[in-house]
Structure 1
């Protein structure tokens, strides 16, 4: 019972810290992963804060599947497919280059390391974090093409890194060196098996979803998908990460027709809150681990630790930068030659930013902590504690240092807002509104005159929305549209105040008020978006 109370206290503390740091991040305009890891780092040295361990199983089995699924769900398949060559060059090519580079360099940079331990360390730190890089990149206003590539890379490079770690640990623990054919076959099975499982789970869920229209049930089903895909793939020794990615990409393409509008709103709201809590949990836990990690290392002085951590982190950043430039040119050649894409090669400044945004996160630390403590012969795993420390340093440097310097770097390279207005979205809005107006006008012509007034009201509303998409030269039309939106927002505010007054007077109950509030919330959100456009 005492142990249960302790777990409850730790959970409440973590949730309180997540809320607190999230609010701080919002106020200072800094991406929340950075604030949370710094906050956790500082909290770790507060005496009354209980020792909270970072359990690898918690990350791999509980946190990772829904976070990967959420990232896949918000990924555009069209953009993922368009950038697939660049993504693969990072997710597979860069991971392999990093593992080999670290294996070759660490014996020269770090005492007590041979090439086998270098392979273990390289496999641990090679994958980028699925959330950190893209959340920071979106926050600081990077062009969408860079964000798409970073997002795709972080979605699938975990599978490559974990496979490399599996082979590297086997080399150290049992002195087994896998053959090239064994590695290739294992990689193929991880990819093919994982994708097949993910698509099968996605198809089954899509079939079931079309026969359900109940928010709570469909939210529960959406939560079941990532865990089901991950565990099913793991059971056949395929990639659980790729299974989750495949199911997420499959289902997000069908979500427009799979859910009813009210259910879709509920699911989006749930997943936004759920992923925020899980991400906050990971980053706060990472920060809290420094005190524990330092207590594990007894044969290194503090100055030596700082020097080695900084040197290794810089080495990792340089390795990524060394890869991205030739990788971008080779992938551009392949895209033009075989995929017939006529896009120009990204400018050097964009390639550099891709190289600078290699943030690591919870998966790397979980992988380091999952390294076995002993070898097959009973001896301790060499340099295990130091590997964990170096991994922590890489996470801290790449997430905090690179994350905080990204805005200044983007301004210096004149990349902020270089994507310009979202012309694709604007054109889509115009086309769907014009289609609606054309349908209403044709329907009005086919109907009786007794409903002309209703048609005119609806068509007038649509024409007002179309006016808001007119060119900025037509100032009178734009001004009328803004007045329409302002008046509509003012009317909605009066509706809300009146509904609250009726509840306070006892003329309606809270359930009626909540239903009215929900409608008004959706209306005001729509008008707020209209003003932004």
Structure 2
């Protein structure tokens, strides 16, 4: 036990070092972690990393999905709902179906149900990989929003396919009527349970005498409660976490204090950093064990690699067809209903088509396949499915992950003009916030200013906001007034975010974060 603990500590240190190296050489860190895991696994005497399949989903997925839902912009998700929805549901299903028919035709003994199982595993692109790559290149906000929204929702759709395929493999049959009812319940039940648990958690934050530490613990518990509650009634735990996370994200300012938000932000960033690092490293570390299992299934290593490359080719080709097909559909549909852009061009779909790196969810789904079926028989082709998944992840991460930044720079996608430039948005918010705050203060407190000396420091602070050289000391009474002003600033920022479509919510959140910091500083002055 101590040996494994030491091994994992070494892995964590290695993750930190590799991510620092990735930032230094401007390479997406998932690429380095996967390759490092593969190289480490080849060292003689290295302990075999094995996690029980049923624990994979419950350990990794809830917090990863919750954090993704918590940080995504609901405004952008709704704005690009058509393209996001089509890629997250229609394209995922068509991709899984393509993989199913190709593997069923080419791999001897590989049933259609197993094909859909594999298709459900490898169909969703990975948000972590895409975001890690986009750190080093500039992409129009529209495209990054589509990629983020797609990756959040396609996890849910792909895992629903995975769930039904698992049932079909286990029972040997697929009843459409029953599947339709189950599918409906998984979606409706998952969303409803996620919203219910999210609402209950928010009530708990408000009613219970919590502090920042308790608030953070509750947010860490929330995704697991959502996931387990939904899975217990056979609905979608993934959709429960996503819907609950979106709800709690939208209402975060209502039930979390500034202290809880600031500390929680750092705790969650560290947790997700660690989980993502471990998952990508595990991808490489698991290869030797998977390769040994191929021999038991009578499949040669080179043959399995060929199958993996074939599935990868199907995925890449399918995504390109979907990306350029979306352009055609947009042009046709634009004649009948309003669309965001009637002529999206060919550069954007080219980048979108090449942004199909696979990662965390695919690995978690593959590793969650049980070793044995309910009747005690070995799960058919389990090691081959795991190996193909590994080849897909490795190939897409290395091939697409390393070339995507070059392609983005080469294509040079023009600004679509549907968002303010970052500098413009920053200036707009700073000027608007300062003007609104001063107006609010003068409207509500101007008559008290001459008679109440405690308010003078606030007036001085607001008038010289941008050129402040030193902190202004405030009395307890002044702090109460200033807290009201900070809350008014939050309200103004959120209203601006709702009403101005061209405003990037990420920049708004930076200003909200700064207000939280300002509120925290009041406690120590």
So what's the TM-score if we normalise by structure 2? 0.81
**How well do the aligned residues superpose, as a CA RMSD in angstroms?**
2.9
Q: Deviations over 1:81-135 (max 9, x none)?
A: 1122222211110111012111222244444434333222212211223422334
Q: How does 1:194-205 map to 2 (within 5 A)?
A: 194-205=190-201
How far 1:246 sits from its partner (Å)? 0.8
SS in 1 for 2:464: helix
Unaligned stretches of 5+ residues in structure 1: 466-483, 490-520, 527-533
Deviation track 1:324-353 (CA, whole Å, cap 9, x = no partner) reads: 222354367668856x44544432211221
Alignment equivalent of 1:122, drawn from 119, 130, 141: 119
User: Residue 530 of structure 1 corresponds to which residue in structure 2?
Assistant: none
Identify if the C-alpha distance between structure 1 residues 407 and 7 changes in structure 2 by more than 3 Å, giving closer, same or farther.
same
Contact 2:53 2:368 (C-alpha < 8 Å) held by counterparts: yes
User: Relative to structure 1, is the Cα distance of residues 56 and 146 closer, same or farther in structure 2, using a 3 angstrom cutoff?
Assistant: farther
Residue of structure 2 aligned with 1:167, choices 161, 164, 167: 164
- Report the equivalent of 1:428: 429
Contact 2:438/2:463 (CA < 8 Å) preserved in 1? no
Find 2:464's aligned residue among 439, 461, 466.
Answer: 461
1:5 and 2:2 aligned? yes
| Pair 1:346-2:347 in alignment | no
Instruction: Say if 1:206 and 1:251, in contact at 8 Å, map to a contact too.
Output: yes
Q: 1:95 aligns with which of 89, 92, 102?
A: 92
Q: CA deviation at 1:198?
A: 0.9
How many pairs are equivalent? 469
The CA deviation at 1:378 is 6.1
- CA, structure 1 residues 332+73, in 2 after alignment: closer, same or farther (shift >3 Å)? farther
Instruction: Identify if the C-alpha distance between structure 1 residues 174 and 402 changes in structure 2 by more than 3 Å, giving closer, same or farther.
Output: same
Moved more, 243-252 or 374-383: 374-383
Measured after TM superposition, the shift of residue 167 of structure 1 is 2.7
Shift of 1:241: 0.7
2:305 equivalent in structure 1:
306
2:401 is matched with which residue: 398, 403, 419?
Answer: 403
Q: Does 1:323 align with 2:322?
A: yes
Q: How does 1:107-506 map to 2 (within 5 A)?
A: 107-179=104-176, 181-211=177-207, 212-298=209-295, 299-330=298-329, 337=336, 340-374=338-372, 380-415=378-413, 421-422=421-422, 423-442=424-443, 443-444=445-446, 446-448=448-450, 451=453, 454=457, 457-462=460-465, 465=466, 484=467
Q: CA deviation at 1:79?
A: 1.1
Once structures 1 and 2 are overlaid, which stretch shifts more, 58-67 or 98-107?
98-107
Q: Is the 8 A contact 2:80 2:146 kept in 1?
A: yes
Deviation at 1:78, TM superposition (A): 1.2
Give the Cα separation in 2 of the matches to 1:416 and 1:30.
Answer: 24
SS of equivalent residue, structure 1 residue 39: helix
What is the CA–CA distance in structure 1 between the aligned matches of 2:431 and 2:179, rounded to whole Å? Answer: 51
Alignment TM-score, normalising by the size of structure 1: 0.80
Q: 1 CA distance for matches of 2:59 and 2:16?
A: 20
For 1:123 and 1:114, the matched residues in 2 are separated by 14
The ranges of structure 1 where at least 4 consecutive aligned residues each deviate by more than 6 angstroms after the TM superposition are 416-420
How far the C-alpha of 1:71 sits from its partner, in A, is: 0.5
Q: How far apart are the structure 1 equivalents of 2:334 and 2:258? A: 38
1:191, 1:239 within 8 Å by CA — same for their partners in 2? yes
Whether the 8 Å CA contact 2:223–2:241 is kept in 1: the answer is yes
1:32 Cα offset (Å): 2.1
Summarize the Cα distance change of 1:336–1:248 in structure 2 as closer, same or farther, 3 Å threshold. farther
Alignment CA distance shift 1:184-1:208 (3 Å):
same
Q: Distance in 2 between matches of 1:273 and 1:67?
A: 12
